[in-house]
């Protein structure tokens, strides 16, 4: 049995000085049971914990890392930037270079403003949409996550979903009074009160739920019909499912984009962008206020730029192909085990570009297409057992059924083969654990 003594000791100390022992709730393992591993270092596709256990890391900071951990080019870019000073409160060339790199890759996105997180990006994009249209109402989709700002913390995905909170305590009803939550993959009826419709164009915070054909096009038409703006939250999909993100992938152009994760190269960055006409409402040119002491931070822009310039379209295509084959193999391996055990369960392993989801569902369930269906999959409880059995075998999936796997450019055939090699055995153990627990709960 692997040693986890140092992680356990750190977690005990952490719980004394920080709520739940973590800086972000999903890291607590509450959704899967057990204690989190504390990371000592990352190396490409791997993380090594403080007890020396090594894992193929499919978390990759929930998608912030595209080229793998501690890539030498990124490390050098950060080191070089740091030698020149880490923050000034005055403009730097790095901001121009990163903004240029973003607008050059995303057709239709003429300008961006840099912030420090995806949360800020989405929050600010909404403010721009409201300022531009002079309207209040925001439409979002159940199971989509747009960060933890008050107005968007309704029907959220990711950690909010994991914790089973439809909303959050501490968010007054007034803050979400103008937020309308509707089901994913169905085009809602909207009217002239709507400032914007915000959507994850490929939903990746309720597991991986691709848009059905016509959904994004339908949103574009619905927005155009009433003069509302369409906001793509590409904090995950941006610069991951291709250089042009989900708007290029789908052929549907939004009015506003939100970015984060990949564009920081592993440091805290977000950005929101759109047509120059729309962003013109922002201060200092316009009346919509938005600001940030560390916005456009030199280390973060250097790291982000290093990643964006390193990864060309060929690399994206190769990664998506490799991961697509991996997803098929994983579905095969897991499906065989479920069939052999007569578990009455099936598995779905959707993939979009290099994003991979794992849904265990009762047999006969169609492809998971919205939050209700994602919740039904999570309710089987099998993901949590599978997660634990995989972790014991040296593979770190995300510790919650609503997250997705983020194989990076550092995940070669060998690392991905390792995952599929141990997955069947892990699932068999997970099923056995689940059966045993069911018997304990219902004696006789």
Ligand X SMILES: *Cc1c(COP(=O)(O)O)cnc(C)c1O
Q: Which two tokens stand for residue 113?
A: 């403003």
Residue 147 binds ligand X (CB under 6 A)? yes
Nearer to ligand X, 185 or 205 (CB): 205
Please report how close the Cβ of residue 147 comes to ligand X at its closest, in angstroms.
4
Nearer to ligand X, 67 or 121 (CB): 121
Residue 260 binds ligand X (CB under 6 A)? yes
Q: Which residues pair with 257 in a beta bridge?
A: 232, 273
Q: Which residues pair with 355 in a beta bridge?
A: 352
Catalytic residue among 261, 316, 371, 383: 261
Q: Is 46 a catalytic residue?
A: no
Nearer to ligand X, 21 or 147 (CB): 147
Choose among 259, 256, 246: nearest CA to 216. 246
Residue 49 binds ligand X (CB under 6 A)? no
Segment contacting ligand X (CB under 6 A): 71-79, 81-89, 113-121, 385-393? Answer: 113-121
Q: Which residues of 220-242 are buried (b: 16+ CB within 10 A; e: fewer)?
A: bebbeeeebbbbbbbbbbbbbbb
Please check whether residue 28 is in contact with residue 37, taking contact to mean a CB–CB distance below 8 angstroms: no
Residues 119, 162, 290, 377: which binds ligand X (CB under 6 A)?
Answer: 119
DSSP 8-state symbol, 267: S
Q: Is 140 a catalytic residue?
A: no
Segment contacting ligand X (CB under 6 A): 43-51, 116-124, 171-179, 352-360? Answer: 116-124
Choose among 77, 36, 78, 35: nearest CA to 59. 36
How many whole angstroms separate alpha carbon 429 and alpha carbon 348? 19
Locate tokens 């040119």: which residue? 285
Residue 259 binds ligand X (CB under 6 A)? no
Q: Is 375 a catalytic residue?
A: no
Nearer to ligand X, 148 or 375 (CB): 148
Residue 143 binds ligand X (CB under 6 A)? no
Q: Which residues pair with 258 in a beta bridge?
A: 233, 272
Residue 118 binds ligand X (CB under 6 A)? yes
Q: Which two tokens stand for residue 247?
A: 């708007």
How many whole angstroms separate alpha carbon 249 and alpha carbon 104? 16
Residues 65, 117, 179, 297: which binds ligand X (CB under 6 A)?
Answer: 117
Segment contacting ligand X (CB under 6 A): 31-39, 118-126, 241-249, 428-436? Answer: 118-126
Nearer to ligand X, 263 or 430 (CB): 263
Residue 202 binds ligand X (CB under 6 A)? no
DSSP 8-state symbol, 69: B
Locate tokens 């069911």: which residue? 438
Catalytic residue among 49, 57, 233, 255: 233
Nearer to ligand X, 235 or 334 (CB): 235
Residue 132 binds ligand X (CB under 6 A)? no
How many CA atoms lie less than 13 Å away from 215 in the CB half-sphere?
20
Catalytic residue among 46, 55, 145, 402: 145
159 Cβ neighbours under 8 A, 6+ residues apart: 24, 25, 26, 145, 400
Residues 49, 95, 200, 403: which binds ligand X (CB under 6 A)?
Answer: 200
Residue 403 binds ligand X (CB under 6 A)? no
Choose among 332, 372, 371: nearest CA to 348. 332
Q: Which residues of 276-314 are buried (b: 16+ CB within 10 A; e: fewer)?
A: eebbebbeeeeebebeeebbbbbbbbbbbbbbbebbeee
Residue 205 binds ligand X (CB under 6 A)? yes
Please report how close the Cβ of residue 125 comes to ligand X at its closest, in angstroms.
10
Q: Which two tokens stand for residue 49?
A: 């914990």
Residues 56, 66, 78, 122: which binds ligand X (CB under 6 A)?
Answer: 122
Segment contacting ligand X (CB under 6 A): 81-89, 111-119, 244-252, 362-370? Answer: 111-119
Total residues binding ligand X (CB under 6 A) = 14
Residue 236 binds ligand X (CB under 6 A)? yes
Peptide bond into 337 cis (omega under 30): no
274 Cβ neighbours under 8 A, 6+ residues apart: 109, 110, 111, 125, 128, 254, 255, 256, 257
Contacts with ligand X, residue ranges (CB under 6 A): 117-119, 122, 145-147, 200, 205, 233, 235-236, 260, 270
Q: Which residues carry out catalysis?
A: 145, 233, 261
């Amino acid at each position: 049995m692997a040693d986890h003594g140092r992680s356990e000791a750190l977690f005990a100390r952490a719980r004394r000085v920080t709520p739940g022992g973590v800086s972000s709730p999903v890291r607590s393992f509450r959704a899967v049971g057990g204690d989190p591993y504390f990371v000592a270092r990352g190396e490409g596709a791997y993380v090594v914990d403080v007890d020396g256990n090594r894992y193929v890391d499919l978390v990759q900071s929930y998608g912030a890392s595209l080229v793998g951990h501690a890539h030498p080019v990124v490390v050098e870019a950060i080191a070089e930037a740091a030698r020149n000073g880490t923050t000034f409160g005055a403009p730097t060339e790095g901001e121009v270079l990163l903004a240029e790199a973003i607008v050059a890759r995303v057709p239709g996105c003429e300008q961006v403003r840099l912030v420090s997180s995806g949360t800020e990006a989405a929050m600010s994009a909404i403010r721009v949409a409201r300022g531009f249209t002079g309207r209040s109402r925001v439409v979002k989709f159940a199971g989509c996550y747009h960060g933890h700002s008050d107005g968007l913390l309704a029907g959220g995905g990711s950690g909010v979903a994991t914790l089973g909170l439809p909303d959050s305590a501490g968010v007054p009803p007034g803050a979400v009074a103008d937020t309308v939550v509707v089901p994913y993959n169905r085009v809602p009826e909207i009217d002239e009160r709507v400032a914007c419709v915000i959507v994850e164009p490929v939903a990746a915070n309720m597991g991986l739920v691709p848009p059905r054909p016509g959904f994004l096009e339908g949103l574009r038409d619905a927005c155009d019909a009433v003069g509302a703006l369409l906001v793509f939250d590409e904090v995950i999909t941006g610069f991951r499912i291709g250089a042009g993100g989900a708007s290029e992938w789908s052929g549907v152009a939004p009015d506003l984009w939100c970015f984060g994760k990949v564009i920081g190269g592993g440091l805290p960055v977000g950005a929101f962008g759109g047509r120059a006409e729309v962003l013109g409402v922002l201060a200092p040119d316009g009346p919509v206020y938005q600001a940030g002491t560390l916005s456009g931070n030199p280390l973060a822009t250097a790291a982000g730029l290093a990643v964006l310039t390193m990864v060309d379209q060929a690399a994206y295509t190769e990664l998506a192909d490799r991961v697509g084959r991996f997803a098929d193999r994983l579905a095969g391996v897991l499906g065989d085990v479920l069939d052999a055990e007569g578990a009455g369960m099936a598995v779905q392993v959707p993939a979009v570009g290099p994003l991979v989801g794992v849904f265990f569902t009762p047999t006969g369930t169609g492809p998971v297409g919205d939050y209700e269906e994602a919740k039904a999959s999570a309710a089987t409880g099998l993901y949590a057992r599978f997660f634990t059995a995989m972790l014991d075998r040296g593979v770190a999936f995300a510790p919650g059924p609503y997250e997705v796997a983020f194989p990076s450019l550092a995940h070669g055939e060998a690392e991905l083969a390792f995952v599929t090699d141990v997955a069947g055995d892990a699932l068999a153990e997970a099923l056995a654990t689940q059966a045993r627990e069911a018997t304990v709960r219902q004696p006789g």
